[in-house]
Structures are given as C-alpha cells and as structure tokens.
C-alpha cells in the first residue's frame, strides 16, 4: 500500500483522478469487473454448485443491469454465500478520506466533516485505502431493528461534546446504510424487517439518497442493496411490502441440488471429513450416496413440510456424525482402519431430526421413526443403482432356511466379517461395489452389510432389533386333491366299494 497516494494532492495527480475511476459508481464498478472476469473465463462464484445454468445467469443479468436484487429460496440454498461472494467483483481497494465514517469519495465528499476538512487542509488532506472486504455490510433483519439502526439519528453526545446545535449536520449518527456507502449493503431475511423500516428504504432504492431524522439534508449514497428471503415468508412471519418489492430490480429464485452428484459435491465441500489421527479413514461411496439420498427422499416425502424445506445442512451434519460413529467404534475395538457402515447412518439420526419439519401425519409417526424410514428408502434406492440385475436368491434362501444374523453395532470389523462370511452367496457379489477379497476386512464387512440392508429395504428379508436379519420360513403348500373336469364342483369323484 506504500505506493498508493497518501494525500488528496497526490491522488489528484495519480491515475485515480481519471473521470471513469474517480466518479464511477459501485454498481458500474461491479458491472465492469464482472465483464472482465467473464472474458477471462475466471470462476465467478467459487464454492457454489448446481447453479451454473439457473441462478448464476440471473445474478449476472442483475449485476449487468445495475439492479438492486433479492434472492428468494428455502433454507440452506447458499443465499448468504452468494451475496458475500459479490465482493469478488469489486476493485482490490479504493481511496477514501481518512477517518470518514461513510467512506467518502475524496473527489466529491458527501458529509459535512469531510467537506470542512478539505476546505481547511486542501491537498494535504490524508487519504486511506479501503479493501474490498471492508466495503461489505450485512444485517440480519429482526423485528427490533429501528430506523436509527438502518439510516441514522441525532447524536446528542456529539452535540454536547462539540458545542453544536442539535440541528447541526455535525451531530448526525450514521446508521448501517450510510456506513455501507461505496459498497454493498445486504439484508438477510427481509420479511422480518418491520414494515415502517422497509418504507425507510424507498428513497435509496429509487432516488438514490437518504434523509436522516431532523436534518434537511439528503445524502446521495452510492450503494448496491441485496436482499435474501424465504419465499414463504411473504405470508408467514412477515411480508415484503408491495412498494418495496416494486423497487427491487430483479427477483431471483434459488433451489436445492437438482441431482445427487451436485448434492454430494456440496456435502463433500462443506463437511468435516478429514479427521486427524493414526487410523486410516474410509467413507465408501455408497455410504455418501445413502446420506445424500436421505435429503432427496425427505424433500419428496409428503409427511415432511415442503414449505419449510430440507436444508443441505442435513447431509452435511449427517455425514459428519456417520464418520464419528465409525471413529468411535474403531477406537473402542482398536481397529486400524475406520470404515463407515450403514449402521453408522442410523447412528446419525440425531443429526437429521432437527433438519426437517413434519406435517400432521409425520408428527403422528415421530421424527425419529420418519428418519429411520427415510434411511431405509435411501438405502433401497442406492442398492438398486449398484445392483440392478444381480441375483441375490442364494442369500435370501439362506435366511429362508432358518439362518439369522445379529451382530452388535459396536462389533469389530473382524467379528462382523466372520459372521457375514457364513451367509452363502453374499461375499461373491461384493465386486458389484468395487470390493475384492484383497481389501481390508473392514471394507468387506461394510459392503456386505450394505447388501443385507438393501435386501431388507426391498423387503426380501426382514430385520428387527431383537433378531437382527432373518426371513420367514417358506411354507410348503398342502397337497391338493385331483380335479375332475366332469364334476361342476371341480372335486374328483369318490371311489365306490362293493
């Protein structure tokens, strides 16, 4: 930063005195930098998955149009992440008058203290440089937010200390919006903002200025306003008043991942899976798919409230709990390898039940029972993808002929593998999920358990907490009497004896 101008005089003699830079608005700055990034094919929103063909093109249109915009979407749809990523389209730094509360442009200051300072100090007025991260202001809307918080108010302490009249412009206390001048001001959960506070945003969105209580002064702020909201909040906890909606340039709808692969990429990015320790860690692909499939199943389930949504935080929290369950088992049994199993997915139910809201029918069943049914459905669908045409009849017959298997959830990998190997035809099909006889016993045991859970999910075998895996014995049909086609009743004629 030492090479940048430090006084107003130096600034006027530098490249930052050019008209296109000195008086460029923040929305124009975002527009120009976005176009440059697109021409260079640089990533626009790193870490945001699944929006390349839907949401991101709409955001680009809004920025190129220099619109204030709102992101509407259910919880866990990366709205806040997208809004915060907008700072990437700003210049690395901009010049401001040193000490100014509202980051005044040295070429055209707005506030009275800065104008007085330049009049007194001239070219010697000190200049500071504001980084792009400091130009972003975010506020979570709550019902107790006041106009003073957002816009500003009279500060009697300033008046008393400076000996000013209360009507003097030097006694202004600036709110969050003026402090976001020459930057981005984001309001999360906009419907929770009281209606009278929303009215206070009319001027800045249409005329581009604000009026602070008690002062005949209009500050022409340079700011981009971005909002986020849940679409159901229009009629739930609060609502966005119609005149404000009319002033928002673009309304952009977000959505949940459209495919399993998109969801898994988000979960892999956001979850804490790389654990420290001496044990090797393995989370099989089918376990990751089951965890992700649970969220997809929940979003389709009629017993889950769709208006509330099922956040992407569900699979993120669940996969972390799955791994912790496997880690705990490995530590207790002193296993050298940590391998997640389907049993660990059931152990992760506490990470799921708080992530969805239930309709009446679901409330009657209970959140834990619904979670168990979602896991079973997700396991069945994942099993069908891996084994669409495999004949598991030998495995099913082993159970139908009286075989049962119950292994405690905390059993070691070697104990589980030894028990599973007793089932005929089970280990011969592990190659369908990329597991061979050379793999670690923990990996083989996890894969074999997945097959049994899949057969149970498809109702080909049974499972209970008391008996474990089993199957009802196949009943032998009773012999039937031969039918006589000449007898209308269908019964064979009785033999006559003399």
| pLDDT over threshold 60, residue 415 | yes
Among 174-183, 207-216, 413-422, 468-477, which stretch is predicted with the lowest mean pLDDT? 468-477
| pLDDT over threshold 60, residue 261 | yes
For residue 262, what pLDDT band results from cuts at 50, 70 and 90?
Answer: very high
Q: Which pLDDT tens digit goes with each residue over 270-315? A: 999 888 888 889 999 999 999 999 999 999 999 999 888 899 999 9
Q: What class, spelled out in words, does domain 8-253 have in CATH?
A: alpha beta
492 phi and psi angles, rounded to 5 deg: -70, 145
Could you give the CA distance from residue 491 to residue 139 in angstroms, rounded to a whole number? Answer: 85
Gap between the terminal Cα atoms of the chain: 124
| pLDDT over threshold 60, residue 76 | yes
Which sequence spans correspond to the domains of the chain?
A: 8-253, 260-470
The predicted pLDDT at position 494 comes to 53
Q: Which pLDDT tens digit goes with each residue over 20-45? A: 777 899 999 999 999 999 999 999 99
Q: Residue 106 in contact with residue 95, Cβ under 8 Å?
A: yes
| CA dihedral (234, 237, 241, 246) positive or negative | negative
- Rounded to an integer, the average pLDDT of 404-429 is 86
- Rounded to an integer, the average pLDDT of 420-429 is 90
> How many other CB atoms are found less than 10 A from the CB of residue 202?
15
| pTM metric for this prediction | 0.86
| pLDDT over threshold 70, residue 233 | no
For residue 260, what pLDDT band results from cuts at 50, 70 and 90?
Answer: very high
CA distances for 428 relative to 69, 403, 459, 490, angstroms: 57, 18, 21, 48
Q: Residue 291 in contact with residue 347, Cβ under 8 Å?
A: no
Q: Which pLDDT tens digit goes with each residue over 122-162? A: 999 999 999 999 999 999 998 889 988 998 887 777 766 76
């Amino acid at each position: 930063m030492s090479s940048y101008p430090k006084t107003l005089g130096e600034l006027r003699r530098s490249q930052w005195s050019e008209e296109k830079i000195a008086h460029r608005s923040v929305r124009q700055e975002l527009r120009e930098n976005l176009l440059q990034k697109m021409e260079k094919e640089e990533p626009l929103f790193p870490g945001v998955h699944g929006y390349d063909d839907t949401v991101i093109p709409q955001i680009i249109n809004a920025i190129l149009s220099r619109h204030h915009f709102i992101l509407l979407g259910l919880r866990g749809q990366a709205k806040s992440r997208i809004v915060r990523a907008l700072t990437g389209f700003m210049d690395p730094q901009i010049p401001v008058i040193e000490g100014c509360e509202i980051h005044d442009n040295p070429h055209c200051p707005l506030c009275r203290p800065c104008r007085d300072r330049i009049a007194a100090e001239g070219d010697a007025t000190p200049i500071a440089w504001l980084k792009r991260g400091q130009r972003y202001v975010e506020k979570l809307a709550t019902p107790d937010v006041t106009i003073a918080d957002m816009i500003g108010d009279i500060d009697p302490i300033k008046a008393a200390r400076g000996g000013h009249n209360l009507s003097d412009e030097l006694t202004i206390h600036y709110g969050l919006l003026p402090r976001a001048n020459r930057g981005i001001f984001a309001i999360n959960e906009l419907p929770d903002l009281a209606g009278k506070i929303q009215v206070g945003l009319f001027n800045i969105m249409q005329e581009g200025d604000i009026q602070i209580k008690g002062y005949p002064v209009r500050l022409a702020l340079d700011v981009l306003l971005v909002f986020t909201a849940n679409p159901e909040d229009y009629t739930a906890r609060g609502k966005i008043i119609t005149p404000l909606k009319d002033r928002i340039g673009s309304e952009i709808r977000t959505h949940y991942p459209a495919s399993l692969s998109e969801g898994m990429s988000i979960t892999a990015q956001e979850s804490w899976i790389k654990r420290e320790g001496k044990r090797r860690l393995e989370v099989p692909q089918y376990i990751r798919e089951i965890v992700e499939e649970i969220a997809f199943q929940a979003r389709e389930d009629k017993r889950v409230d769709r208006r509330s949504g099922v956040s992407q935080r569900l699979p993120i929290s669940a996969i972390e709990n799955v791994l912790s369950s496997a880690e705990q088992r490995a530590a207790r049994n002193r296993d050298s390898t940590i391998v997640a199993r389907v049993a660990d997915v059931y152990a992760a139910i506490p990470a799921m039940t708080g992530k969805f809201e239930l309709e009446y029918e679901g409330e009657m069943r209970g959140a834990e029972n619904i979670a168990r049914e979602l896991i079973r459905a997700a396991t069945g669908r994942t099993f069908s993808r891996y084994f669409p045409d495999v004949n598991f009849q030998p495995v099913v017959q082993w159970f139908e002929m009286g075989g049962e298997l119950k292994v405690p959830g905390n059993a070691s990998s070697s104990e589980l593998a030894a028990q599973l190997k007793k089932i005929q035809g089970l280990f011969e099909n592990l190659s369908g999920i990329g597991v061979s006889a050379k793999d670690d016993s923990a990996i083989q045991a996890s894969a074999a358990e997945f097959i049994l859970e899949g057969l149970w999910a498809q109702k080909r075998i049974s499972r209970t907490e008391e008996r474990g895996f089993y199957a009802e014995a196949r009943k032998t049909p009773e012999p039937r009497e031969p039918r006589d086609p000449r007898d209308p009743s269908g019964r064979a004629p009785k033999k006559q004896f003399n």
